[in-house]
Amino acid sequence: MAHPSRNPFPVPVDPQSDRWLMQTLVEHSSSDQAREAAAAWLAAYDTALALGASEVKAHIHADTAYRVAASRAGLPVVVRRAA
């Protein structure tokens, strides 16, 4: 019997809400750093979905991409812990 993988990053009830938020940041933020991090999230999420990942896995990949981009841009990064 396979063990389900633990998701250290809880996904919201509507995963599309994060996508909408990141798209809004890309289009309207006055911060270059915020736009860059949001664009990284969108690219990772959309690519993962296009390659057949579930929404949960796509969200995890996108969160990782966001954290890397935000750290590089000097933005604060909050580390989520498993519940």
Domain extent at residue 49: 16-72
Give tens-digit pLDDT for 15-45: 788 899 999 999 999 999 999 999 999 999 9
Which of residues 3 and 31 earns the better pLDDT score?
31
Q: Enter the tokens of residue 39.
A: 């664009």
In a domain, 82, yes or no: no
pTM, two decimal places: 0.78
Q: What is the DSSP string of the chain?
A: -PPPPP-SSPPPSSTHHHHHHHHHHHHH-S-HHHHHHHHHHHHHHHHHHHTT--HHHHHHHHHHHHHHHHHHTT---PPP---
**How many domains are contained in the chain?**
1
In a domain, 5, yes or no: no
Q: Enter the tokens of residue 27.
A: 């289009």
